[in-house]
Amino acid sequence: MLEFSAEVIRWQQFLIRCLGGYNSNNTRRSSKNICSTTIKMQSLMSIGSPSLEVDAINILRKITPSLDPSRHKGQAGKIAVIGGCREYTGAPYFSAISALKIGADLSHVFCTKDAATVIKSYSPEIIVHPILEESYNIRDEDKRSISGKVIAEVNKWMERFDCLVIGPGLGRDSFLLECVSDIMKLARKSNVPMVVDGDGLFLVTNNLDLVKGYPLAVLTPNVNEYKRLVQKVLQCDVNDEDGTLQLLSLAKGIGVTILRKGGSDFISNGETVHAVSSFGSPRRCGGQGDILSGSVAVFISWARQFEAAKGETGLSPTISGCIAGSVLLRKASSLAFQTKRRSTLTTDIIEHLGQRFFCCITF
C-alpha cells in the first residue's frame, strides 16, 4: 500500500476531528469518509508510479530568483490578467494582486469598462486597461471595428508580458469571448505562456484549437471543469481508479499542461504526472483558484528565466510553475485558517502569501 507523506497523514487526522469530534458514532462515520478519500487518493497516486509526490518546496526555492539590487523593474515578472466584467470584479483582482504579493514587478488587468473603475478601487498597484466590451453595450455593426481596436491595444503590450492569465471573472458574453479568443491566438503567435482558469476553461472546452498543441498553455480545472474536459476530449466520464492514466491521456490529447485541482493537486504535461498533497485548508471560500492562477503565472515566468540562465532540462517550466504555485497556495491557506478558522476569506489567504513564501525559501 502506498505510504503517504507525514503531511497527508496529518491532513487525514485533522479532517477526522473536523468531521465530528471523537464520540463513537461520529468517529466511525468520519473514519469511513476518510477511508473513502484515502482509497481514491491511493488509486490516483499509485498507477504508473510508486509515488507521484514531489519535493515541491525544493522546486519553489530552485526557480525563485534572488532579490538582486542590480535588477531593474520588470525583470522579476510582468503578468497580465485577461478577465473582469460587470458581474465579476473580484476574481481578476485576486489573480493580479497575488502575482504582485509573490514578487512579480508589474501586474496588469485587461477588463471591461464597467469593471475597470471597481478593480482600480481595490488597489492602486494594479495597471488596469478598460478595453474589453460586452454585447449589451455595443451595436452589431460596430463589433468588428471594436474587436480590431481591442486586439490592436493588446498587441502593443503583448511582447512585454511574461505570462497571461486567461479567464478570472471573464463571464460568458459571446462577443467578449470572441475577443479573448483573438487575444489567445495573439499570445500563441507571440510565444507567451498562458494560464487558463475559470470562464477561460469554458471558452477552451468549446474551442480546443485555442490551446491544442501549445506547450506553454496551462489549464487549471476544478472538479466540474475537469469533468467537462474529459468528456469533451476523451469522450468518457472521469475515472478516479485510473486517475493518473486518464490525466496523462487528457494532457497528451490536448498538448498542454494540466493542473487538476482537488484534495491533492495533480499536474501533467502528457509525459509525467506529479502530485502536491501538502495540507491546505478545509475552508473552501471562492477565489482560491484565482490566487492559484496568478501564482502559477509568476512561477512559470521565473522557471523560464531559470531554465534560460542555467540551461537545465529537468522539469518543464510549466510543470515547475504549477508545482510551486500549488504548494504556496496550500501553505498560505493553512496559515490563514489557523488564524481565521471558519471566517477565512480569500483576502486573508492573500495576506499570508508573503509570510509563507518567505518561510518556504529561507528554511
Residues in the annotated binding site: 169, 222-228, 261-265, 280-290
Annotated binding site for (6S)-NADPHX: 169, 222-228, 290
Contact at 8 Å (CB) between 265 and 275?
A: yes
Contact at 8 Å (CB) between 273 and 49?
A: yes
Alpha carbon distance, N-terminus to C-terminus of the chain: 31
**Sheet order of strands, 257-260 included:** 127-132, 106-112, 78-82, 163-166, 194-196, 217-219, 257-260, 265-268, 273-276
Which of helix, strand or coil describes residue 81?
strand
Contact at 8 Å (CB) between 84 and 306?
A: no
**Closest to 45 measured CA to CA, from 205, 253, 186, 242:** 242
Cβ neighbours around 241 below 10 Å, total: 11
Annotated binding site for ATP: 261-265, 280-289
Give residue for cell 532579490: 67
**Closest to 204 measured CA to CA, from 234, 226, 236, 223:** 226
How far is residue 127's CA from residue 108's CA, in Å, rounded to a whole number? 5
101: CB partners within 8 A, 6+ apart: 350, 353, 354
- Checking DSSP bridges between strand 78-82 and strand 217-219, what pairing results, if any? unpaired
How far is residue 186's CA from residue 191's CA, in Å, rounded to a whole number? 9
How far is residue 59's CA from residue 223's CA, in Å, rounded to a whole number? 26
How far is residue 1's CA from residue 132's CA, in Å, rounded to a whole number? 52
To 5 degrees, how large is the angle CA 325–CA 78–CA 60? Answer: 25
